[in-house]
Amino acid sequence: MLLFPLLFLVVFQISGQKEIVPSVNQLVIIANNTGPVISKDIYGHFSEHLGACIYGGLWVGTDSKIPNTFGIRNDVLFALREMKIPNLRWPGGCFADTYHWKDGIGPQEKRASIVNTNWGNVTEDNSFGTHEFMKLTELLGCDAYINGNVGSGSVKEMAEWVEYLTSGNESPMTKLRKENGREKPWKVKYFAIGNENWGCGGNMTAEFYANNMRQYSTFLGDYSGNNLYKVACGPSDWNFGWTETLMKDEGTRDRFQGLSIHYYSIVDGWGYMGSATKFNEREWFETMRMNLQMEDIVKGHAAIMDRYDPQKKKGLVVDEWGNWFKVEPGTNPGFLYQQNTMRDAVTAAIHLNIFNHHADRVKSANIAQMINVLQSVILTKDDKMILTPTYHVFRMFRVHQDATLLKTDLKCEDYVYGDKKLPSISASASVDKEGKVHISLANLNPNKSVVVTCPVIGESYSKITGEVLTAPEMNSFNSFENPDFVKPAAFTGFSSKNGILTITMPSKSVVVLELTK
- The footprint of ligand AHR (CB under 6 A) covers 48, 92-94, 195-196, 320, 368-369, 374
Torsion sign across C-alpha atoms 10, 13, 19, 24: positive
Closest distance of CB 98 from ligand AHR, Å: 10
| Nearest residue to 241 via CA among 207, 208, 214 | 207
Nearest CB to ligand AHR, comparing residues 238 and 485: 238
As a whole number of angstroms, the distance between CA 391 and CA 381 comes to 17
User: Which member of 132, 160, 283, 320 is catalytic?
Assistant: 320
Closest distance of CB 11 from ligand AHR, Å: 41
Nearest CB to ligand AHR, comparing residues 119 and 491: 119
User: Assign residue 141 a region: left if phi > 0, alpha if psi is -120 to 50, beta otherwise?
Assistant: left
Closest distance of CB 301 from ligand AHR, Å: 17
Nearest CB to ligand AHR, comparing residues 233 and 511: 233
As a whole number of angstroms, the distance between CA 93 and CA 76 comes to 21
Count of CB atoms within 10 A of residue 498's CB?
8
Q: How many angstroms separate the first and last alpha carbons of the chain? A: 30
As a whole number of angstroms, the distance between CA 451 and CA 424 comes to 11
Nearest CB to ligand AHR, comparing residues 322 and 446: 322
User: Which member of 196, 283, 286, 514 is catalytic?
Assistant: 196
Backbone angles phi, psi at 83, to 5 degrees: -80, -10
CB 401 within 8 Å of CB 394: no
Greatest alpha-carbon pair distance for the chain in Å reads 72
Nearest CB to ligand AHR, comparing residues 369 and 424: 369
CB 480 within 8 Å of CB 52: no
Residue 411, H or E segment: strand 404-411
Nearest CB to ligand AHR, comparing residues 185 and 235: 235
Closest distance of CB 276 from ligand AHR, Å: 15
Entry field: residues in the chain: 517
Nearest CB to ligand AHR, comparing residues 333 and 458: 333
Q: Does residue 250 carry a catalytic annotation?
A: no
Q: Which residues pair with 455 in a beta bridge?
A: 500
Count of CB atoms within 10 A of residue 432's CB?
16
As a whole number of angstroms, the distance between CA 188 and CA 485 comes to 38
Structure letter (DSSP) for residue 409: E
Which residue is closest to ligand AHR by CB? 93
**SS3 (DSSP) at 27:** strand
Closest distance of CB 94 from ligand AHR, Å: 4
Q: Does residue 320 carry a catalytic annotation?
A: yes
CB 424 within 8 Å of CB 412: yes
As a whole number of angstroms, the distance between CA 389 and CA 71 comes to 27
Q: Give the burial string for 179-204 (b: 16+ CB within 10 Å, else e).
A: eeebeebbbbbbbbbbbbbbebbbeb
Closest distance of CB 458 from ligand AHR, Å: 42
Nearest CB to ligand AHR, comparing residues 195 and 475: 195
AA letter at 258: G
Nearest CB to ligand AHR, comparing residues 92 and 153: 92
Q: Give the burial string for 234-254 (b: 16+ CB within 10 Å, else e).
A: bbbeebeebbbbbbeeeebbe
Torsion sign across C-alpha atoms 257, 238, 261, 511: negative
The angle formed by the CA atoms of residues 361, 363 and 369, to the nearest 5 degrees, is 125
Task: List active site positions.
Answer: 196, 320
